Amino acid sequence: MTDRRVAVVGGGISGLSAAHTLIDAGVRVSVFESSPVLGGKIATTTLDGLALPTAPDAFLARQPEMVELASELGLEDELIAPAAREARIARGSRLYPLPPNLLGLPTDLGALADSGLISRDGVARAALDLTAADDRPAEDESVGALVRRRLGDEVLEYLVDPLLGGINAGDSDRLSAQAGVPQIGAARELHPSLIEAVRTMQARATPNPDAPIFLTPQSGLQSMIDRLGQRVLEHAELRLGQPADIERASDGWHVNRERFDRVVVATAADPAANLLSPIAPATADGLRTIDASSVALLLLVLPLDSIDLPAAVSGVLVPRLEGRMVTAISVATNKWPHIADDRIVLRVSVGRRTDQRWLHMNDDALLDAVRADLAELIGLEHPPIAHHATRWIEALPQYDVGHAGRIDLLEDALREDAPGVHLAGPMLRGLGLPACVRSGRTAAAAALA
């Protein structure tokens, strides 16, 4: 144990990962969390007797940070992969299987044609990617601009945009290829043809087609928060229900008038901007330029056999052009059969950057609108046994073109104006849980340096 004191502001996965690293290093840590519970967006509700996550339910397996964290917390043996892996895309009155792809970029034009999802003209347009001249601009561009140019509008609108939108509820015409989808950014660097680039990337990757894409602890992501919370209780100070503010002190920083040598700010971008504006105004201004999408997640518990989807189907993505309220349906009980074998649980996503119609609806109106879409998409006629809606306001940061450069600048300004104060969270370099853990660890390492 050293005398250095570090405050962590924000008790979501980013802040708790920072605290976990700092505790390991033997410094004195205090975690400030404004709400009465830890976890932030990793939250659980009980519905019809089932404990169900109201936001993330799994994490990407190929990024190591969550797997490592689970193992550090003694949960490695609990990690399970989804039992259902086939997604469908809705177009008109039909659901189409997803053709082979990497983040929506097709890898096999024959299979793309066979899927029926893209018209013959659309497939012919996509094939031009293989022969069209190298037209890559030197600077960052949007995923939309890149995919429209190489593969055509239809592949963007019915494949890439729905897949990416299922992750960030964003608009691929504004999403930075470089920062928003690093794999697509890397494909763009690798080869003028996106199809060739993705084939090369897949050939270089370890050829294990059975490797899980997603993982989660059988006891739920909540169990990781519970264990991190337990570590904080045992080895640090926990200030729950205490919104923090930060002031400059003569020999460090004051958080809620307590002195600390270093501070890790691990809240969402907007609260971070409010916290930093008195001490690092340029960083606060930079954070305020990061737009964030709002979404609603509806959990529906249904009787068995009430939907027209086989057990192998994990969910349905709904392209923007379909004009529906529902953006994605995840069949939780197909993916995670241990949840229940006598009921169906759906996680239904509503809202995207370009569609806020739901924002002013009450729960009943929202449920009616969702049920109308589900009746047409998956044949659901039965009213739910139980339902629950969570509204996540400005929850998903949007990485517009040029994002990476703006983050570098705002972090430079933070180092200059408030040395010893560090940022973590999904507004920086990745939205998913592994990236949040990485950002928490990086901020902790900077606080220890």
Ligand X SMILES: Cc1cc2nc3c(=O)[nH]c(=O)nc-3n(C[C@H](O)[C@H](O)[C@H](O)COP(=O)(O)OP(=O)(O)OC[C@H]3O[C@@H](n4cnc5c(N)ncnc54)[C@H](O)[C@@H]3O)c2cc1C
What is the binding site for ligand X (CB under 6 A)?
9-15, 32-35, 40-42, 55-59, 243-244, 266-268, 271, 275, 295, 297, 392, 395-396, 425-426, 431-433, 436
Beta-bridge partner residues of 389 = 298
- In angstroms, the first-to-last Cα distance of the chain is 15
CA distance 223 to 42: 10
Tokens matching residue 327: 């953006």
CA dihedral of 189, 191, 192, 198, whole degrees rounded to 10: -100
Q: Give phi and psi for 7, each to the nearest 5.
A: -100, 135
CA distance 95 to 22: 48
Tokens matching residue 22: 């700092």
Q: How far is the CB of 306 from ligand X (least distance, A)?
A: 24
Q: How far is the CB of 193 from ligand X (least distance, A)?
A: 30
Q: How far is the CB of 30 from ligand X (least distance, A)?
A: 11
Q: How far is the CB of 423 from ligand X (least distance, A)?
A: 10
When the beta carbons of 244 and 331 are compared against ligand X, the nearer one is 244
When the beta carbons of 295 and 307 are compared against ligand X, the nearer one is 295
- 8 A C-beta contact, residue 232 and residue 23: yes
- 8 A C-beta contact, residue 431 and residue 397: yes
When the beta carbons of 293 and 306 are compared against ligand X, the nearer one is 293
Q: How far is the CB of 442 from ligand X (least distance, A)?
A: 13
When the beta carbons of 119 and 218 are compared against ligand X, the nearer one is 218
CA distance 362 to 387: 14
When the beta carbons of 96 and 392 are compared against ligand X, the nearer one is 392
Q: How far is the CB of 426 from ligand X (least distance, A)?
A: 4
CA distance 24 to 17: 11
Beta-bridge partner residues of 323 = none
| DSSP label at residue 432 | S
When the beta carbons of 58 and 444 are compared against ligand X, the nearer one is 58
Q: How far is the CB of 122 from ligand X (least distance, A)?
A: 30
CA dihedral of 62, 52, 394, 281, whole degrees rounded to 10: -70
| DSSP label at residue 359 | G
When the beta carbons of 10 and 152 are compared against ligand X, the nearer one is 10
DSSP-derived pairing of the beta strands 94-97 and 86-91: antiparallel
Q: How far is the CB of 4 from ligand X (least distance, A)?
A: 21
When the beta carbons of 47 and 55 are compared against ligand X, the nearer one is 55
Beta-bridge partner residues of 157 = none
